[in-house]
Structure 1
Amino acid sequence: MRLSVGCAMWTHRAWQGRLLAHPLAPQDRLRHYASWCDAVEGNTTFYATPTRETVASWAAQTDPGFRFVLKLPKVVTHERRLTDTDEPLRAFLDAIEPLGPRTHALWIQLPGSFSPADVPTLSRFLGHLPRSHRYAVEVRHPAFFTDARAIRLLEQALGGADAEWVPFDTTAFFATPPTSDAERDAWTKKPRVPLRSVALTDRPIVRYLGRDDTDRTVEGWQRWVDVTVDWLREGRSPTVFVHTPDNTDAPVLARRFHDEVRARVPGLDALPEPIPVGPLTLF
């Protein structure tokens, strides 16, 4: 029984000197983040495939149980739309090999224009992927959340590959108008889709976007505390990523979410103790 929590990144200017020691060499930043959270979204891999040497440094900074959910490159998902992708996909899979078991899932985030008519393409793509990895798919076309036939088609395609459906819950964020610059920026960029909280596999993945106000973020995730508790009692092993528009307190919030779930599931292991920001003193 395990719940992993994390953020959208492992380094952020707002964390420097407050949550993470500063300055930190690049080869130490992930190690310090991994003392706060035991999972991270691999958003950077969407924009460019890293070198094996870079990925090897990620592995060196984390325990084998740390969870990376790595986004497939945009050339695969958005530019080629899952067609004629052998070469970039092979390069990506080779690059991430040093992570070994830390690669919890490969995340296939599809553009909003990827519609129910494209599900056969997704099914073929999933069918040709190596079984050495697990896969998680995020869709944004409205029909996948409102049309029963579209939902059924997608679930069948995912089920055939034992792939998970990743919900990005923005309902709490869009409940009321934005009140900060970061919220106003996110208001124009984040997807507005209905809530989905159905797990297809034993390793569900959730992305949750709160607000810059901590109380409203915590209020909005209460439904996910309930769902996560149920998943754990069913024997599932979920991963929950906590976002806010500015992400200033994201590691603290991720740990708070874990604490709230653990208070109701006492058998859940605690997260590690964060590495101190400054040197320890006797006084």
Structure 2
Amino acid sequence: MSKMYLGLPMWANTEWRGSLYPPHAGHEGWLPDYARVFSAVEGNTTFYSGAPRQETVAAWARQAPPDFRFCFKLPSALTHERRLSGIESAFDAFLDALAPVQDRLGPLMVQLPRDFGSDELPQLETLLSRWPAGVPCGVEVRHREFFHKGAAEVALNRLLITHGANRIMLDVRPLFSTPANGSPGLAQAQSEKPRRPLHVISTGNQPLVRFIGHLDEDINSHYFTPWIERLGLWIKQGKTPFLFVHTADNRRAPQFARTLYDRVASSHALSPLGAFPGERQACLF
């Protein structure tokens, strides 16, 4: 059956009690409940806090089903502080920490600094050349020169294609479509996310889209519509796309992700999402 992985930026969010999670659910049940609905998750915490303890990862392995995919970010200590230079042993240690879920790793994400340009591509090439077989890779660039369709972008794309790495597509068009207009959540998201053009390109077999939504659902729907055809095309080509859905404050990210997925599923015969455990429990009463 056709497959597309769908996920959110995290699974631990108290604001999802009463919708995705039962109203009084303890955090120990969040991952199992999350994985009943969503098939993947971004692992953003590793970007800030580094490799998790192996016993923590072992607990995740017990809670997530075999077809679930964890897409952890490389720690910022490797990408931003050391800028991929001389990180071999630290990278290996990071992979070792993830060993309990090695069979459930989606693309590990290499998010590069905004000033990481073409002159530093040799460091990226060194990393990709020793990237372990069987572990997908996603690379997110943010330097302006990689979005001008010039020599720097050509060199980047060739490098990624050569190593089968996926260029992460960060779609911030809905987020920046209006001023913040006094919305703290929107203002914060606009300050944190880079305002870069969207270049739609699949350089590997797991095209990865991070869709950063607005608070206005009509705006989100407008910008998502072209993705329906594109995601379907990749599926028909035998690729396995990953779609990660954010909203400005992420409060309604689960509902928003469900709405977008339903549009893709109805067009491309994908399996329906499971019911939200929190909503299912509410129906019982």
Shorter-normalised TM range:
over 0.9
1:229-248 equivalences under 5 Å are: 229-248=232-251
In structure 2, what is the equivalent of residue 219 of structure 1? 222
Contact 2:17 2:278 in 1 (8 A): no
Kindly indicate whether the alpha-carbon contact (under 8 Å) linking 2:108 and 2:138 is maintained by their aligned counterparts in 1.
Answer: yes
Identity of aligned residues (%): 37
Does structure 1 residue 193 correspond to structure 2 residue 201?
Answer: no
Query: Are the structure 2 counterparts of residues 143 and 249 from structure 1 closer, same or farther at C-alpha, using a change threshold of 3 Å?
Result: same
TM-score (norm 2): 0.93
Tell me what 1:7 maps to: 8
**Alpha-carbon contact 1:36-1:255 (below 8 Å) kept:** no
Q: Distance in 2 between matches of 1:16 and 1:94?
A: 33
Counterpart for residue 98 of structure 1: 100
Shift of 1:270: 2.0
Q: Is the 8 A contact 2:110 2:137 kept in 1?
A: yes
Equivalent runs, 1:143-162 vs 2, <5 Å: 143-162=145-164
- Write the deviation string for residues 32-78 of structure 1: whole angstroms up to 9, x where unpaired: 11122111100001122100111111111111111111100111111
Taking the TM superposition and a 5 Å limit, the aligned residue runs for 1:46-57 are 46-48=47-49, 49-57=51-59
3-state SS of 2:42 partner: strand
Aligned Cα root-mean-square deviation (Å): 1.7
Q: Indicate the residue corresponding to 1:18 in structure 2.
A: 19
> Which residue matches 1:68?
70
2:34 maps to amino acid:
Y
Partners of 2:19 and 2:278 within 8 A in 1:
no
Q: State the one-letter code of the partner of 1:224.
A: W
Amino acid at match of 1:168: L
1:228 aligns with 2:231: yes
Match of 1:32 in 2: 33
Q: Which amino acid in 1 is paired with 2:216?
A: D
Offset at residue 282 of structure 1 (A): 6.6
Unaligned runs of 5+ in 1: none
CA distance in 2, matches of 1:240, 1:192: 19
Q: Distance in 1 between matches of 2:282 and 2:169?
A: 41
Q: Structure 2: which amino acid aligns with 1:103?
A: L
| Separation (CA, whole Å) in 2 of partners of 1:185 and 1:111 | 19
Structure 1 stretch displaced more, 27-36 or 15-24: 15-24
Residue identity in the other structure for 1:17: G
Q: By how many angstroms is 1:276 displaced? A: 4.0
Cα shift at 1:280: 7.0
The equivalent of 1:127 in structure 2 is 129
Structure 2: runs of 5+ lacking an equivalent: none
Secondary structure of the 1:144 match is: helix
CA distance in 2, matches of 1:110, 1:132: 22
Look up the SS of the partner of 2:245 in the other structure: strand
Amino acid paired to 2:13: H
Q: CA deviation at 1:17?
A: 2.5
1:134-145 to 2 correspondence within 5 Å? 134-145=136-147
Aligned residues: 282
* AA partner of residue 110 (structure 2): I
Please state how far the C-alpha of 1:4 moved relative to its aligned partner. 1.2
The amino acid that maps onto 1:67 is R
Closer/same/farther in 2, CA of residues 282 and 106 from structure 1, 3 Å limit: closer
Q: Which residue of 1 aligns with 2:60?
A: 58
Answer yes or no: is the 8 Å Cα contact 2:22–2:281 preserved in 1. no
SS in structure 2 of the partner of residue 202 of structure 1 = coil
**Relative to 1, partners in 2 of residues 1:25 and 1:280: Cα closer, same or farther, differing over 3 Å?**
closer
For 1:130-154, what per-residue CA distance to the aligned partner results, in whole angstroms no more than 9, with x for missing partners?
A: 2241111000001101142111100
